[in-house]
Structure 1
Amino acid sequence: MAETPKEKSVIRETDDEARRLARGLVRCARHGALAALEPQTGHPLASRVAVAPDMDGTPVMLASTLSGHTAAIMADPRSSLLLGEAGKGDPLAHPRITLFTRAVRIERGGEDHARMRRRYLARHPKAELYVDFGDFAFFRLEIERASLNGGFAKAYSLQPADMILAPEACAALLGWEAGAVAHMNEDHRDAVALYAEVLCRAPKADWRLASLDPEGMDLVAGDRIARLWFETPLDAPAALKTVLVDLARRAREQGGAGGAA
């Protein structure tokens, strides 16, 4: 009896290119579609939410506890988050990622809350009007798995380790990031502009450094976000200055102008 032919899987093997694409989609997202289960009916409830990445790459959202989607994730933390900009042309031809997540509320007063508040406001400065209201809270949408669609016939299934940095990789930079970001924005805006406009090939704008992590930096100008990856992940804060100076030098050599970091 002839064997039944095996059905060919549409899921590609996850490689470094897919991991970089997935991490970039999360790092560069300003908003996404959150799906949760409505407590009263169990029906999926989809809402647009604003997001920002924590240092390890976990998406963070700020939400009012009076909203329907917040009530849903507080009753059942299982949720999904769709990220990815449609861009020009066929929206289905552009990369997007669905994160299968579990929402974790972050209590006020601790270092985690302070870090998330700072990183979130760097992306969404208008949220400063209500971020400290008593009915608003930050939630980490902790990734349990992900489905990446890199375009037609480019489907991948990813695990947390493909996207999220290990705690030990972030630990050394946690105490340095806020000061480094402030220093660059206050004293070296010319270098920040070089990073965005030369190395990231972004249009000229009022660029600021939003955040740093061991793998790279995120730059913002209004609604625009540019991601600059380091050639080698940082393993110690002492290497940060060297990396920033080297990036500014490389940008000047490629045709930019400005001061060193």
Structure 2
Amino acid sequence: MPDTNKVIRETDADALHLAKALLRTARYGALAVLDSQSGRPLASRVAVATDIDGAPVVLVSALSSHTPALLANGRSSLLLGEPGKGDPLAYPRITLLCSARQVGHSDPDYERLRRRYLNRHPKARLYVDLGDFTFFRFDLEGANLNGGFGKAFVLTRDDLISAHAANADIAAVEQSALDHMNSDHSDAIALYAKHFAGAKAGDRTKGRTWRMSGIDAEGFDLIADDDVASRVFFDAPIQGAGDIHRVLAEMAKQACQQHAASCNANQAETGSFNKV
């Protein structure tokens, strides 16, 4: 057998960036659990969002076979990463090793998880409050990252979780900041998508309506037409809610310098980006 030490690459900044991007942009994934009756592996497709620290969040029905499995044994894994055209194995993906925890209505984390999940999956409002649906938060224990052929990494929990003290402060104002940006600064959001996500998303940015679906200490999430997601990282983690306005305004100005035509048109219609 080959020496796995020679196959697994040393974790570097690019690997961490890719892993966190896969985690934050996932709209769905393959959830693997142990069947509560037979003990056999059971895999299901689930819609995925993230808590503010990056931990995956899933909304499940009691009618689904994976729900009793998770209640009986929280050990599970999530495979994230969407293939494109051509060979699906050429695209990056990550398998998360998790311990799932049910989050009920009385849990102090419930409202935050519900809010962030619905920001990512707004159509879930139709059933999120039905009695047989419940949230699970997947606490990460490690991960296997495959960045493409010959790019294998073994990651730890600390590699993936954004354990910044500022997240609690940001969570308290996150929804008001999102509502403000999406209602009053759609022009700036489109510019963020074009400048910061465009190189990664390619033609996906064209002709789509982008909105901001989450903010945390390390960056923010964009989603277009509820089917394409992009992650924009800050140059450095912000220190609290008070930094959100400043950093977003600076990023808008930075993007304007590269896309003057778009800025001039938007400023003429909606006013200066200085108001971000």
* Common fold by TM > 0.5: yes
Structure-1 residue corresponding to 2:174: 177
| 1:250 CA displacement | 1.4
- Mean Cα displacement is larger for which, 81-90 or 202-211? 202-211
| 1:109 CA displacement | 4.2
Q: What TM-score comes out, normalization by structure 1 length?
A: 0.94
Contact 1:122/1:210 (CA < 8 Å) preserved in 2? yes
Structure-1 residue corresponding to 2:215: 212
1:135 and 2:132 equivalent?
yes
Paired with 1:115 and 1:205, the residues of 2 have a C-alpha distance of 28
Structure-1 residue corresponding to 2:42: 45
TM-aligned CA distance change 1:176 to 1:8, over 3 Å: closer
TM-aligned CA distance change 1:194 to 1:7, over 3 Å: closer
User: In the alignment, which of 97, 100, 109 is matched to residue 100 of structure 1?
Assistant: 97
User: In the alignment, which of 249, 254, 270 is matched to residue 250 of structure 1?
Assistant: 254
Q: What RMSD, in angstroms, separates the aligned Cα atoms of the two structures?
A: 1.5
| Alignment gaps of 5+ in structure 1 | none
- Give a deviation string over 1:140-195, Cα, whole Å, max 9, x none: 01111100000011100000000001152412212121111111111111111111
Secondary structure, in 3 states, of the residue corresponding to 1:132? coil
| Alignment gaps of 5+ in structure 2 | 199-204, 267-271
1:58 and 2:61 equivalent?
no
| 1:196 CA displacement | 1.0
Secondary structure, in 3 states, of the residue corresponding to 2:17? helix
Contact 1:101/1:141 (CA < 8 Å) preserved in 2? yes
- Mean Cα displacement is larger for which, 167-176 or 16-25? 167-176
Structure-2 residue corresponding to 1:199: 196
* Structure 1 segment 1-261 matched on structure 2, within 5 A: 8-166=5-163, 168-201=165-198, 202-222=205-225, 223-255=227-259, 256-257=262-263, 258=266, 259-260=272-273, 261=276
Letter in 1 for 2:252: A
**Per residue, is there more helix in 1 or in 2?**
2
Q: What TM-score comes out, normalization by structure 2 length?
A: 0.89
Paired with 1:173 and 1:8, the residues of 2 have a C-alpha distance of 40
Secondary structure, in 3 states, of the residue corresponding to 1:175? helix
Q: Displaced runs of 4+ in structure 1, greater than 6 A?
A: none
TM-aligned CA distance change 1:237 to 1:6, over 3 Å: closer
Letter in 1 for 2:223: V
Secondary structure, in 3 states, of the residue corresponding to 2:32? strand
| 1:252 CA displacement | 1.5
- Give a deviation string over 1:120-147, Cα, whole Å, max 9, x none: 1112111110000111011001111100
Identity %: 51
Contact 2:94/2:144 (CA < 8 Å) preserved in 1? yes
Letter in 2 for 1:248: A
